[in-house]
C-alpha cells in the first residue's frame, strides 16, 4: 500500500470517528441549554437536574469530539500538504476563522458551565451553556463552508499555481456549503432528539424517575419530529444542488449508468460496477429521479457513462450509503411522528419505547452514511474540478510513517471509543442525581 492510499484510509478513520461525537454535541448542547432556561424561568428543580444529567452525557461525548477534531486539522498539513498549499489561502482561512470566532468561545465557556454552578448567578450560568450551544453550531457553519469550498469551489482565482482568494463574500455565501450546513445540523439535532428519547425510553420502561424522564422525552420528541422532517426537506433541496453541480455524484447515488430522459428510480438495485451496469433493477417508478434531481418530471439525468472512468466516484459505496441514509431518514420521520403524537401517554406505549431504545444508534449510522455520500461521491476530486485527491498528499512522507500512525489511530481510537461508550452507557443507565432539598448554597 502506498502513502496515498494509507493517507486516505487515515483521513476516513479520523473523520468518521470524529463525526461520531460531533452531531450529539451540536444538538444536545441546545437541549441542555433549553432545559436550564426552563429551570431559570420556573425555578423547578427537576429542570436543573435534567440539565445536569443530560449535561454530563454531553460532557463525556464532548471530550472526545474536541480531541478528535484536532486530528483533522493536523492531518491537512501532515498528510495532505500539497492540498494545504494549494487551497490554504481559502480553506485555511475558514479554519482559522472557525477557531477564533467559535471554538474559543465553546471551549472557554463549557468550563465556565462545569465549574460555575455555585459561582455564577443563575442567569450567567445559563448564558454560559447558551454560548456553548451557539458557538458549537457556529463552528459547524465555518467547517461546512470549508467543506463547501471543496465540494463547490467559488470565489477563487488560480494564480501562482494555487487557488487564491478572489471574493471572501462569495466563499462565505456559497449556497452549497450553507445547504450542507442546514442538512447536517438538522440531522444532528434530530440525532440528539433520538438520543434523549432513547435513554428516556429505557428508564420509562423500568419506571425510573417517571416525571423526570417523561419531561425529558418531550424535549427529545420535539426535536426528533421537527428535525427529521427538516432534514428530509432540506435533503431534497440539497439533492437538487448536487444534481446541478456534481452530476457524477448524483449518478453514483442512483447507480445510473445510461442517461435517461425522463429518469425513473428503481426501488431495488444491485450495482455491477465492473461491467458498468446494474445486476438487478426492480420496481422501476418512472419520472421519480427526474423530479428528485431537478423538480421536473421530464428532466434529463445524465448517466455515469457520460464521463470517463477516471472521473467517476466509487459507485457501489456511494449508492449504498445514499440508499441507507434515505431509508433510515424515512424511518425517523415515522418514529418521530409516533413519539410526538403519544408524548403525553408515552409510558403506556411500551412497544414504541422498546423500539426507541434500539433506535439510538440509527441516526448515527444515517449521518455517517450521509458523509460517505458527500465525501466518497466527491471522488476523484479533493476540490471539485480543481484538484484530484491523488495529487494532494504530502511529498516526503513515507508509506511506513503513515502506516504506523494509521495503526496507532486504530488502537487509540478503539480504546477511547470503548471507554467513552461504557461511560456514556453507565451514566445514562445510572440516571440523574437524586433530588435533594438541601442544595449547597452559592458561595
Partner 1 sequence: MLETIWFILWGVLWAMYFVLDGFDFGIGTLMPFLAKNETDRRIMYNAQGPFWDGNEVWLITAGGVTFAAFPEVYAVMFSQLYTPLYLLLFALIFRGVTFEFRHLSESPTMKKFMDICHVLGSFLPALLLGVAFSNIFMGLPLENGVSQGSFFGLLNPYALAGGLLFVTAFCYHGAVWLAIKSPASMRQRAIRAAEEIWPALVLLAVVFLAASALATDLYANYLKYPFLLFIPMIPVAGLVLTRVALGKRNLWQSWIFSAATIFGTTAFGVAGIFPALLPSSIGPEHSVTIHNGASSPLTLQIMLGVALVMVPAIILYQAWVFKHFSFQIKEEEMIY
Nearest CB to partner 1, comparing residues 56 and 183: 56
263 phi, psi to nearest 5 deg: -100, 135
Contact criterion met (CB below 8 Å) for 89 and 59: no
CA distance 108 to 131: 10
- Minimum distance between the CB of residue 428 and partner 1, rounded to whole angstroms? 12
- Minimum distance between the CB of residue 60 and partner 1, rounded to whole angstroms? 6
List, in sequence order, every beta strand (DSSP E) within 175-333. 265-272, 277-285
Q: Rounded to 5 degrees, what angle do the CA atoms 164, 169, 172 make?
A: 90
Which residues are paired to 271 by β-bridges? 278
Nearest CB to partner 1, comparing residues 114 and 334: 114
- Minimum distance between the CB of residue 35 and partner 1, rounded to whole angstroms? 20
Helix (H, G, I), strand (E, B) or coil at 217: helix
- Minimum distance between the CB of residue 71 and partner 1, rounded to whole angstroms? 6
Nearest CB to partner 1, comparing residues 65 and 193: 65
- Minimum distance between the CB of residue 95 and partner 1, rounded to whole angstroms? 5
- Minimum distance between the CB of residue 160 and partner 1, rounded to whole angstroms? 8
List, in sequence order, every beta strand (DSSP E) within 109-209. 156-159, 162-165
For 187, residues 6+ apart whose C-beta sits below 8 A from its C-beta are: 23, 227, 231, 363, 366, 367, 370
Rounded to a whole number, what is the distance in angstroms from the first to the last CA of the chain? 60
Contact criterion met (CB below 8 Å) for 60 and 423: yes
Nearest CB to partner 1, comparing residues 100 and 344: 100
- Minimum distance between the CB of residue 79 and partner 1, rounded to whole angstroms? 7
Nearest CB to partner 1, comparing residues 164 and 258: 164
Nearest CB to partner 1, comparing residues 65 and 313: 65
Nearest CB to partner 1, comparing residues 44 and 439: 439
Nearest CB to partner 1, comparing residues 132 and 328: 132
Nearest CB to partner 1, comparing residues 92 and 431: 92
- Residue 267: Cβ-neighbour burial (10 angstroms; 0-12, 13-18, 19+): exposed
CA distance 380 to 239: 19
- Residue 258: Cβ-neighbour burial (10 angstroms; 0-12, 13-18, 19+): middle
- Minimum distance between the CB of residue 328 and partner 1, rounded to whole angstroms? 29
For 52, residues 6+ apart whose C-beta sits below 8 A from its C-beta are: 432, 433
Torsion of CA 285, 293, 146, 18, to 10 degrees: -10
- Minimum distance between the CB of residue 391 and partner 1, rounded to whole angstroms? 13
CA distance 117 to 122: 8
Amino acid at each position: 500500500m502506498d502513502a496515498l492510499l494509507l493517507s486516505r484510509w487515515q483521513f476516513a478513520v479520523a473523520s468518521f470517528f470524529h463525526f461520531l461525537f460531533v452531531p450529539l454535541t451540536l444538538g444536545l448542547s441546545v437541549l441542555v441549554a433549553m432545559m436550564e432556561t426552563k429551570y431559570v424561568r420556573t425555578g423547578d428543580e427537576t429542570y436543573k437536574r435534567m440539565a445536569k444529567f443530560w449535561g454530563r452525557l454531553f460532557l463525556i461525548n464532548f471530550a472526545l469530539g474536541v480531541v478528535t477534531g484536532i486530528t483533522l486539522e493536523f492531518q491537512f498539513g501532515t498528510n495532505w500538504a500539497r492540498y494545504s498549499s494549494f487551497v490554504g489561502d481559502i480553506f485555511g482561512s475558514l479554519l482559522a476563522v472557525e477557531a477564533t470566532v467559535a471554538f474559543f468561545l465553546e471551549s472557554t465557556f463549557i468550563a465556565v458551565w462545569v465549574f460555575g454552578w455555585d459561582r455564577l448567578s443563575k442567569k450567567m450560568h445559563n448564558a454560559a451553556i447558551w454560548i456553548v450551544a451557539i458557538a458549537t453550531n457556529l463552528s459547524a457553519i465555518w467547517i461546512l463552508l470549508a467543506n463547501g469550498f471543496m465540494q463547490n469551489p467559488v470565489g477563487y482565482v488560480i494564480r501562482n499555481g494555487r487557488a487564491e482568494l478572489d471574493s471572501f463574500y462569495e466563499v462565505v455565501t456559497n449556497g452549497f456549503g450553507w445547504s450542507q450546513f442546514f442538512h447536517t445540523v438538522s440531522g444532528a439535532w434530530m440525532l440528539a432528539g433520538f438520543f434523549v428519547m432513547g435513554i428516556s425510553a429505557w428508564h420509562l420502561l423500568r419506571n425510573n424517575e417517571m416525571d423526570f424522564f417523561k419531561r425529558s422525552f418531550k424535549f427529545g420528541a420535539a426535536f426528533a419530529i421537527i428535525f427529521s422532517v427538516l432534514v428530509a426537506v432540506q435533503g431534497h433541496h440539497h439533492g437538487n444542488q448536487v444534481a446541478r453541480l456534481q452530476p457524477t455524484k448524483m449518478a453514483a447515488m442512483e447507480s445510473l449508468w445510461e442517461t435517461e430522459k425522463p429518469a425513473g428510480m428503481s426501488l431495488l438495485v444491485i450495482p455491477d460496477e465492473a461491467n458498468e451496469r446494474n445486476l438487478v433493477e426492480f420496481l422501476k417508478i418512472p419520472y421519480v429521479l427526474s423530479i428528485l434531481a431537478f423538480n421536473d418530471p421530464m428532466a434529463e439525468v445524465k448517466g455515469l457513462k457520460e464521463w470517463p472512468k477516471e472521473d467517476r466516484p466509487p459507485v457501489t459505496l456511494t449508492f449504498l450509503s445514499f440508499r441507507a441514509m434515505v431509508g433510515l431518514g424515512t424511518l425517523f420521520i415515522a418514529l418521530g411522528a409516533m413519539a410526538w403524537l403519544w408524548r403525553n401517554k408515552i409510558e403506556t406505549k411500551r412497544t414504541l419505547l422498546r423500539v426507541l431504545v434500539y433506535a439510538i444508534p440509527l441516526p448515527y449510522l444515517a449521518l455517517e452514511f450521509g458523509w460517505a455520500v458527500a465525501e466518497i461521491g466527491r471522488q476523484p476530486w479533493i476540490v471539485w474540478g480543481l484538484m484530484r485527491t491523488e495529487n494532494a498528499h504530502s511529498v516526503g512522507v513515507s508509506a511506513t510513517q503513515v502506516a504506523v500512525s494509521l495503526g496507532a489511530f486504530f488502537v487509540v481510537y478503539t480504546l477511547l471509543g470503548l471507554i467513552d461508550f461504557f461511560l456514556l452507557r453507565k451514566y445514562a443507565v445510572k440516571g440523574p442525581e437524586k433530588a435533594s432539598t438541601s442544595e449547597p448554597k452559592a458561595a
